[in-house]
Amino acid sequence: MSSDDDMYDDDSFEQETVDDQILDREGLKSDMEEVIASVQETIQVTKGVCRILLQNHKWNQEALIDKFYDSADLETFLSAANIPLHTPSSADGECDICCDMAPLTGLSCAHMACSQCWKAYLTEKIKEGQSEIECMAPKCQLIIPDEQVVKCISDDTKVLDTYHRVILNNYVKTNVYLEWCPGIDCGKAVKGSTCDPHLIVCTCGTRFCFACSNDWHEPVDCRQMKLWVKKCGESSETATWIIENTKDCPKCLTSIQKNGGCNYIRCTNPKCGYQFCWICMNAWSVHANAWYNCNSFDQAAENNRSQFRNNHDRYLFFYNRYRTHEQSLKMEERLIAKMNMKMEQMQNHSMTWTEVQFLREAVNVLSLARRTMMFTYVFAYFLRKNNHSMMFETNQKDMEMATEQLSGFLEQDLEGENLKTLKLKVQDKCRYVEQRRNALLNHCKEGIEQDVWKFIE
């Protein structure tokens, strides 16, 4: 971007860690084989046996090699892992499973069966999602090496493909540095630079937390996010009531449908025209000079109700605001098309493609702010009232005011604006939103580091 767009520096946006890798199935396979080859340099076994050993140690190479060096010898080491070292046994005879006379094979445990019975057994285990399959004999825990499994099912490409898919699935499932992208039909995995919670942005566009696979939920931690999701599920009837598309005008009771992201509402009844806030339903005029504290829960009012009703109302308060920002985020997706049209118009008036990108970046800033606002209400739901929480609410209020101002400006008719003046206004509003957002998030981080937050369990 041009130099006058320096407001969009690298610290202004949430970004995935640069060392994170997005891997498709081929990339996962190569990554897994690289780890196997690395361990094989130390432990001289087949690839299949090495994979099983790594799988049993959750793909922790150091832990596996340390355990290997602590063992007396390779045979003892493999025996402790229930992996056969010797060549499989074979003989002709009657199969104990199907009672047919046929060539029989088995592991070093000498449990024998015909090839068809082995294939049927292995196929069933693979369909169950198992990649480390034990001998079919009851109570025998000897694990069948990959090479033998592949040899037995090699004539059935469908089962063979399923087996390789199960191996990759279990590789991701047990490796703390790997997570599947939760995006619909994505099929990619992320190899994290750390297993700690951090933002992942997949190539499919899905944004999620590496540690819990939920939507990226800063400043809420993973445990609180899990409790919030559970709480929302338990309150499904309440949620249905809250997310209705209409609300009544506080003055004339006309039913109004919110069709934009901005929470400034003007009653559609020509005889009324009452202006109010969609969040708190109070007159918009109280927001004009000093942003009304509709983001702050009234503890005194809560104490006047019974404990059960208190908890119910408290949840409704924060859930309503959480859902409102979530809905605004979805509604504001249409701004992308609007800004694209405006950008084309500006390019037709001698502005370059680079110079008009500030409009697209403004939508990004607004989207980021909405997401952050959503999860600040989850954070606030668990937060106990004290002086620090009051500071948090002040930062939250300032950010909400800045977000609504940017949203309202972008949704209005921009046709009459001078292009250069428009650019300055948008950049100023975006800069302020980012300043308020960073101030709020930094305050939350500092509170965690200094252990000043007190949360409701």
- Per residue in 299-343, pLDDT (tens digit) is 654 554 445 455 667 888 899 999 999 998 888 888 888 888 888
Percent of the chain's residues with pLDDT above 70: 86
296 falls within a domain = yes
Other beta carbons less than 10 A from residue 53's beta carbon? 22
Q: Model confidence at 93, in pLDDT bands (50, 70, 90)?
A: confident
Q: Is 229 buried (19+), middle (13-18) or exposed (0-12) by CB count in 10 A?
A: middle
Q: Under a CB-based contact definition with an 8 Å cutoff, are residues 197 and 209 in contact? A: yes
**What's the average model confidence in pLDDT over 244-265?**
75
Is 262 annotated as catalytic?
yes
287 falls within a domain = yes
Tokens standing for residue 158: 């469908």
Spatial distance between the Cα atoms of 218 and 225, rounded to a whole number of angstroms = 10
Spatial distance between the Cα atoms of 275 and 262, rounded to a whole number of angstroms = 13
Q: Model confidence at 367, in pLDDT bands (50, 70, 90)?
A: very high
DSSP string, 240-309: HHHT-SEEE-TTT--EEE--SS--EEE-S-TTT--EEETTT-SBTHHHHSS---TTS--HHHHHTS-HHH
- Of 127 and 235, more confident: 127
112 falls within a domain = no
Spatial distance between the Cα atoms of 61 and 88, rounded to a whole number of angstroms = 28
DSSP 3-state of 406: helix
What pLDDT shows up at residue 66? 92
pLDDT tens-digit series, residues 24-41: 999 999 999 999 999 999
Q: Under a CB-based contact definition with an 8 Å cutoff, are residues 294 and 265 in contact? A: no
What pLDDT shows up at residue 47? 93
The total number of structural domains that make up the chain: 1
- Of 296 and 13, more confident: 296
pLDDT tens-digit series, residues 197-230: 999 999 998 999 998 888 899 999 988 998 898 7
**What's the average model confidence in pLDDT over 425-432?**
94
Q: Under a CB-based contact definition with an 8 Å cutoff, are residues 314 and 385 in contact? A: no
108-112, 302-306, 434-438: the lowest-pLDDT one: 302-306
343 falls within a domain = yes
Q: Under a CB-based contact definition with an 8 Å cutoff, are residues 51 and 59 in contact? A: no
Spatial distance between the Cα atoms of 335 and 279, rounded to a whole number of angstroms = 21
Residue 135 pLDDT more than 80?
yes
User: Which residue among 202, 262, 277, 430 is the active-site one?
Assistant: 262
Q: What are phi and psi of 245, to 5 degrees?
A: -80, -10
Spatial distance between the Cα atoms of 334 and 325, rounded to a whole number of angstroms = 15
199-201/89-94 β-pairing: unpaired
What pLDDT shows up at residue 437? 96
Selection from 293, 326, 297, 300 nearest residue 314 by Cα: 297
Residue 392 pLDDT more than 80?
yes
**What's the average model confidence in pLDDT over 393-400?**
94
**What's the average model confidence in pLDDT over 53-67?**
93
246-248/207-209 β-pairing: unpaired
Task: Name the residue with tokens 């506080």.
Answer: 250
What pLDDT shows up at residue 321? 92
- Of 127 and 344, more confident: 127
Q: Under a CB-based contact definition with an 8 Å cutoff, are residues 371 and 13 in contact? A: no
> Does the N-terminal peptide bond of residue 197 adopt cis geometry, omega within 30 degrees of 0?
no
Range of the domain at 405: 222-449
Segment (H or E) for 208: strand 207-209
**What's the average model confidence in pLDDT over 366-375?**
94
307 falls within a domain = yes
353 falls within a domain = yes
Q: Under a CB-based contact definition with an 8 Å cutoff, are residues 162 and 153 in contact? A: no
What pLDDT shows up at residue 242? 43
What pLDDT shows up at residue 156? 92
Q: What are phi and psi of 343, to 5 degrees?
A: -65, -40
Residue 243 pLDDT more than 60?
no
Buried-exposed string 285-307: b where 16+ CB fall within 10 A, e elsewhere: eebeeebbebbbbeeeebeeeee
Residue 7 pLDDT more than 60?
no
Residue 236 pLDDT more than 60?
no
Written as one letter, the residue type at 32 is M
Spatial distance between the Cα atoms of 108 and 384, rounded to a whole number of angstroms = 62
Strands of 85-174 (E only): list them.
89-94, 101-106, 112-114
Selection from 164, 148, 81 nearest residue 113 by Cα: 148
CATH number at residue 375: 1.20.120.1750
The alpha carbon torsion through 248, 254, 260, 264 (nearest 10 deg) reads -70
Residue 11 pLDDT more than 60?
no
- Looking from the CA of 258 toward its CB, the CA atoms found within 13 Å total 28
- How many Å is the maximal CA-CA distance in the chain? 95
Residue 373 pLDDT more than 70?
yes
Q: Model confidence at 162, in pLDDT bands (50, 70, 90)?
A: very high
202 falls within a domain = no
410 falls within a domain = yes
